[in-house]
Structure 1
Amino acid sequence: MKVFYIYHSGFAIETEKYKLIFDYYMEPKRNSGNFNIENFIIDNKHILVFSSHSHGDHFNKEILNWKEKNPNINYILSDDIEENGGYNFVKEGDSLIVEGVEINVFGSTDLGVSYFVKCDGKSFFHAGDLNWWAWSDDTPEEEKYMKDLYFNKMELIEKKLKEEEIDYLFYPVDPRLEEYSFLGIKYFIEKIRVRNIIPMHMWDKYEIIKNLKNEIKDINIIEINKNCEEILKI
């Protein structure tokens, strides 16, 4: 299995039979390795492309043109993405199987959804923009609203995944949240069993991963140092 970090919240995963792509929106030229999405999608394996929501840092409609280069591509898109075509549009609470890949769709504390995906004996949770978004200038009312919303979304996830273990958790650790950057990830791993954490949504500030490793000692955290690079091979 291989995992490639593309940029921001974008990742590509290759297993024995499948290729999965999450929240692709661009490949930066700066501080970048050798990964190239056009080479990645030319393959006989089944390719599943996920978009968690329509925000410009998570979705680029150019991904829909990939099917012209490879008809083996299937798309799983949050239903706030307004596009016409033969795509799988999903919302919170949906479950589906696409080319043998099991997909459970959970909510978000922003727009769209998050995904729990199982294939080839591995499980992946891509959070999209699901997070405990606590900003230093929030009013008490805003703080309470976001905390309640996050706990509500997590309660549903915990109920559904209580017997599961996530092999790879892709989760936001946004440095703009300052001292609150790790509130969400810490709460998530209190409630759900996780084997490996892959941080995302870092806006090029990869040094925050070292801070995360100082905060979380008992779960493996996979480091990212630059864009478009292979971060895991097993």
Structure 2
Amino acid sequence: MKIYPIYHSGFMVELEHHILLFDYYMKDLPIIQSDKPLYVFVSHKHQDHYNPEVFEKTKDFKNRTFILANEIKQTPIHVIHMHHDETIHVDDMTISTLLSTDSGVAFIVEVEDKVIYHAGDLHLWLWEDDSEKEAKMMRGSFMAEMKKIKDRHFDLAFLVLDPRQGDELACEGLEIFNEWTDTSVIFPMHFSSDPARMEELLLKVKNSENIVNTERVKEYEF
């Protein structure tokens, strides 16, 4: 696989026979000269994860399929919509979803004997000013989704690491995912407003041997 970080939570993944694009928001797409089919995933309708320009941006790909969270209703072309806790088969891929703790879904894509996870906004969204009740509800919602994938293997995962949460809270969701799953490579995301702080947070993450510093790679292959 080749992984191309784009911006924020946007990534392109190139495999031997497929190209996957997740949560395109802004900036240029990687230039890939290929007749491989493109599969575009959008986890939810927030503007930092879904930019309708993605339809125009990907028009040069001859074979495109769009898999969008069900909450995205109006699109210029036909798309496949997915609810949470759903599994579908698209061509030779199996695609499953989890329920986001914010909006939309997280994607699990099984393709070419690989398993790829993109969290979207499924994350442990704890904030310093949360009430005890709010924090308890968030933890319960997040852990309910993590139990669905406990002990599962992922070759590649894209996970939230948001500096806005502060040092004490930002890393916990990523750490729980990493502890509860068998994941080969993790790319942090959702830090577009403060990449320098993201790098500082990476130094605080426990058991970070399998985590790639997203800001320091334009292309990553394994």
TM-score computed with the length of structure 2 as normaliser:
0.90
Q: Tell me the distance in 1 between the aligned counterparts of 2:199 and 2:35.
A: 35
Q: Is 1:82 aligned with 2:70?
A: no
What is residue 147 of structure 1 aligned with on the other side?
Answer: 139
What is residue 225 of structure 1 aligned with on the other side?
Answer: 215
Pair 118,219 (structure 1): closer, same or farther in 2 beyond 3 Å: farther
Once the two structures are TM-superposed, the CA of residue 17 in structure 1 deviates from its matched residue by 0.5
Once the two structures are TM-superposed, the CA of residue 210 in structure 1 deviates from its matched residue by 4.7
Once the two structures are TM-superposed, the CA of residue 205 in structure 1 deviates from its matched residue by 2.6
Q: Is the 8 A contact 2:117 2:154 kept in 1?
A: yes
Q: Tell me the distance in 2 between the aligned counterparts of 1:38 and 1:57.
A: 18
Once the two structures are TM-superposed, the CA of residue 73 in structure 1 deviates from its matched residue by 0.5
Q: Is 1:169 aligned with 2:160?
A: no
What one-letter code is carried by the residue in structure 2 that aligns with 1:221?
I
Q: Determine helix, strand or coil for the equivalent of 2:124.
A: coil
What is residue 94 of structure 2 aligned with on the other side?
Answer: 102
Pair 233,67 (structure 1): closer, same or farther in 2 beyond 3 Å: closer
Once the two structures are TM-superposed, the CA of residue 130 in structure 1 deviates from its matched residue by 0.5
What is residue 64 of structure 1 aligned with on the other side?
Answer: 55
TM-score computed with the length of structure 1 as normaliser:
0.86
Q: Tell me the distance in 2 between the aligned counterparts of 1:2 and 1:102.
A: 20
Q: Tell me the distance in 1 between the aligned counterparts of 2:204 and 2:67.
A: 35
Once the two structures are TM-superposed, the CA of residue 139 in structure 1 deviates from its matched residue by 1.2
What one-letter code is carried by the residue in structure 1 that aligns with 2:103?
L
Q: Is 1:73 aligned with 2:64?
A: yes
Q: Is 1:25 aligned with 2:16?
A: no
**Greater mean deviation of Cα atoms: 143-152 or 212-221:** 212-221
Show structure 1 runs of 5+ residues with no match.
28-35
173, 180, 188: which one aligns with 1:184: 173
What is residue 45 of structure 1 aligned with on the other side?
Answer: 36
Q: Tell me the distance in 2 between the aligned counterparts of 1:38 and 1:181.
A: 29
Q: Determine helix, strand or coil for the equivalent of 1:50.
A: strand
Q: Is the 8 A contact 1:66 1:73 kept in 2?
A: no
Q: Tell me the distance in 2 between the aligned counterparts of 1:219 and 1:194.
A: 11
% identical aligned pairs = 32
Q: 1:146-195 CA distances to partner (integer Å, 9 max, x unpaired)? A: 1111112222233xxx4x31111100000000020011111112221111
